[in-house]
C-alpha cells in the first residue's frame, strides 16, 4: 500500500480541525473549535426564491456543463463590486470562480509550486493553507505576525531564500484575528513591488469588519503578481462552495484556469447563478450589516467573559472583525495537552500546533465565536476559565 502513495500525499497533514471535530461531535460540547458561520445568517428564504427564479428563467442552462472560469454574470458582479467598494479597476476577465477559497489555494499551489520552491507564510498561518500547499512539497518560511502585521525584518530575511509565493490574510487573520495596519501593508508593498513573487491576499472575512475602516489591499490593484481571494461562504452560504480569485496578471490567471479545468472542469453552475441572482435581487449590504452586528455581539460576549473568567497570565487578541481570536497561555503550557481536559468539561478549541510548521505543544489556541449564541459562549468561556485557573 505505502508504495502506491505519492510523496505528495505522505507530506500532506490531515486537517487537525476535522479530526478534532469528530472527537467533539458530542452535542453537549460547546465547541469553539470549528470555523462555521452562524446558520441564522444564511438567507434561506431568499435563496429558495432565487432557485425558483433561475430555474424558471434560465432553464437547462443552470443544469448544463458550463465554462471553466465561471459564468459571466457572477464574474461581472464581483468585478463591479470590488471596483465600487474597494477602488479596484477590474473587468470580469480578472475574476475566476472557484469551488470555495480552498480550491483557489489548491489551484495557485498547483500552478506555481514545484518541489522545494520557497513559500512565505504568516506565523501562525491558516492550517488549510499549510495543508494544501504541503501537497506541492515546498519549503515553508514563517514570518511572525504581530499586532501591526508582518514582522518586517523577518520578512526581509525570509526573502533571501528562493521565494515564489507569499500567503497572507491581512484582515482578521485566521487563526489570530489580527489585522495588518495601513503602515505595515505599505511597508510590505514597498518590499515586494519590484520582486517577481506571487502574493496571495486571502480575504474571506473582509466584509465582516465590525470596528474601524476598511484598509487598502497590499497587492490587489498594484502588484503585478497579485492574487486576491474572496468567498461567499461567510456572507451567503458555505455549503454552495463558491469562492473566487481576482488576478489582473492575465497570463498567470490563464494558467490557473487550465489547472481549474483539469481539477473539476468548472464550479457548480447552479450555485453560481443562484448566488448571482440572490445578489441582484436582495440588498446584500444590509444583509452583511446584520451578520456584522451579530458577530460583533458574539465577539463582545466572548471577550467580556474572558476578561471575567480568564486568569491574568492568559492573554488574547481583540479582533476588529472576522470569526476568530487567539489565546496565549503561560509559557510551557501545552494547549494540546489541555485539550482532553477541556473536553471533559465539555468545551472544545483548536490547539495552536497545526497553525505552525512542525511545532508541537505550543501555548496558543484558536477560539471561534461565530457559531454559538452569546449565552453559550459565556458558559463555554466560564468552563475554560476554570480550567485555566487550575493550571
Contact residues for 182 (Cβ-Cβ < 8 A; gap 6+): 215, 216
Contact residues for 164 (Cβ-Cβ < 8 A; gap 6+): 112, 113, 117, 118, 119, 138, 197, 198
Among 24, 95, 111, 226, binds a copy of itself (CB under 8 A): 111
Q: Tell me which stretch binds a copy of itself (CB under 8 A): 265-273, 302-310, 356-364, 379-387.
A: 265-273
Among 30, 79, 103, 325, binds a copy of itself (CB under 8 A): 103
- Does 127 sit near a copy of itself (CB under 8 A)? no
Q: Could you tell me the smallest distance in angstroms from the CB atom of residue 17 to a copy of itself?
A: 10
Among 23, 26, 57, 59, binds a copy of itself (CB under 8 A): 59
Among 83, 154, 181, 249, binds a copy of itself (CB under 8 A): 249
Among 154, 263, 334, 376, binds a copy of itself (CB under 8 A): 263
SS3 120: strand
Going by DSSP bridges, is the β-strand pair 163-168/118-123 parallel, antiparallel, or unpaired?
A: parallel
H helix or E strand, kind and range, residue 75: helix 72-86
Nearer to a copy of itself, 140 or 316 (CB): 140
Beta strand extents in 319-368 (DSSP E only): 324-328, 347-348, 350-351, 364-368
Q: Tell me which stretch binds a copy of itself (CB under 8 A): 150-158, 201-209, 230-238, 281-289.
A: 230-238
Nearer to a copy of itself, 141 or 164 (CB): 164
Q: Are 179 and 173 in contact (CB under 8 A)?
A: yes
- Does 213 sit near a copy of itself (CB under 8 A)? no
Q: Tell me which stretch binds a copy of itself (CB under 8 A): 6-14, 145-153, 304-312, 324-332.
A: 6-14
Beta strand extents in 304-344 (DSSP E only): 315-316, 324-328
CA within 13 Å, CB half, 224: 6
- Residue 298: CB atoms within 10 A of its CB come to 22
Q: Could you tell me the smallest distance in angstroms from the CB atom of residue 99 to a copy of itself?
A: 4
- Does 36 sit near a copy of itself (CB under 8 A)? yes
- Does 334 sit near a copy of itself (CB under 8 A)? no
- Does 55 sit near a copy of itself (CB under 8 A)? yes
Among 5, 84, 360, 375, binds a copy of itself (CB under 8 A): 5
Return the exposure string of 373-382: e unless at least 16 CB atoms fall within 10 Å of the residue's CB, then b. Answer: ebeebbebbb
- Does 237 sit near a copy of itself (CB under 8 A)? yes
In the 8-state DSSP scheme, what is residue 245?
E
Residues 10-29 that bind a copy of itself (CB under 8 A): 12, 14-15, 18
- Does 164 sit near a copy of itself (CB under 8 A)? yes
Cell of 303: 471577550
Among 24, 33, 96, 113, binds a copy of itself (CB under 8 A): 113
Torsional class of 100: left (φ above 0), alpha (ψ -120 to 50), beta (otherwise): left
Q: Are 96 and 245 in contact (CB under 8 A)?
A: yes
Among 155, 188, 246, 252, binds a copy of itself (CB under 8 A): 252
Q: Tell me which stretch binds a copy of itself (CB under 8 A): 37-45, 149-157, 283-291, 296-304.
A: 37-45
Q: How many residues does the chain have?
A: 391
- Does 340 sit near a copy of itself (CB under 8 A)? no
Contact residues for 359 (Cβ-Cβ < 8 A; gap 6+): 352, 353
Amino acid at each position: 500500500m505505502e508504495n502506491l502513495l505519492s510523496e505528495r500525499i505522505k507530506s500532506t497533514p490531515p486537517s487537525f480541525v476535522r479530526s478534532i471535530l469528530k472527537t467533539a461531535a458530542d452535542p453537549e460540547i460547546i465547541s469553539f473549535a470549528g470555523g462555521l458561520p452562524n446558520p441564522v445568517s444564511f438567507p434561506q428564504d431568499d435563496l429558495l426564491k432565487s432557485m425558483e427564479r433561475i430555474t424558471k428563467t434560465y432553464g437547462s442552462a443552470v443544469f448544463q456543463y458550463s465554462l471553466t472560469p465561471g459564468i459571466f454574470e457572477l464574474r461581472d458582479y464581483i468585478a463591479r463590486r470590488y471596483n465600487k467598494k474597494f477602488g479596484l479597476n477590474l473587468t470580469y476577465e480578472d475574476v475566476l470562480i472557484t469551488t470555495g477559497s480552498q480550491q483557489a489555494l489548491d489551484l495557485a499551489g498547483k500552478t506555481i509550486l514545484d518541489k522545494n520552491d520557497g513559500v512565505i507564510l504568516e506565523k501562525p498561518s491558516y492550517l488549510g493553507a499549510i495543508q494544501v500547499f504541503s501537497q506541492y512539497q515546498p519549503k515553508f518560511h514563517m514570518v511572525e505576525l504581530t499586532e501591526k502585521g508582518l514582522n518586517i525584518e523577518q520578512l526581509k530575511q525570509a526573502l533571501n531564500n528562493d521565494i515564489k509565493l507569499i500567503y497572507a490574510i491581512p484582515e482578521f487573520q485566521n487563526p489570530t484575528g489580527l489585522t495588518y495596519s495601513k503602515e505595515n501593508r505599505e511597508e510590505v508593498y514597498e518590499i515586494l513591488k519590484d520582486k517577481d513573487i506571487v502574493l496571495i491576499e486571502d480575504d474571506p472575512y473582509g466584509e465582516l469588519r465590525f470596528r474601524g475602516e476598511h484598509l487598502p489591499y497590499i497587492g490587489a490593484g498594484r502588484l503585478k503578481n497579485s492574487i486576491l481571494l474572496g468567498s461567499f461562504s461567510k456572507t451567503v452560504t458555505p455549503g454552495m462552495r463558491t469562492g473566487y480569485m481576482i488576478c489582473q496578471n492575465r497570463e498567470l490567471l490563464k494558467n490557473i484556469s487550465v489547472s481549474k479545468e483539469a481539477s473539476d472542469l468548472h464550479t457548480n453552475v447552479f450555485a453560481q447563478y443562484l448566488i448571482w441572482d440572490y445578489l441582484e435581487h436582495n440588498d446584500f449590504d444590509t444583509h452583511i450589516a446584520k451578520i456584522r452586528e451579530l458577530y460583533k455581539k458574539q465577539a463582545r460576549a466572548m471577550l467580556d467573559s474572558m476578561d471575567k473568567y480568564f486568569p491574568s497570565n492568559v492573554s488574547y487578541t481583540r479582533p476588529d472583525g472576522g470569526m476568530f481570536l487567539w489565546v496565549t497561555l503561560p509559557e510551557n503550557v501545552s494547549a494540546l495537552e489541555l485539550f482532553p481536559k477541556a473536553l471533559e468539561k465539555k468545551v472544545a478549541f483548536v490547539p495552536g500546533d497545526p497553525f505552525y510548521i512542525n511545532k508541537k505543544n505550543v501555548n496558543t489556541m484558536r477560539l471561534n465565536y461565530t457559531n454559538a449564541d452569546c449565552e453559550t459562549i459565556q458558559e463555554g468561556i466560564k468552563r475554560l476559565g476554570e480550567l485555566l485557573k487550575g493550571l
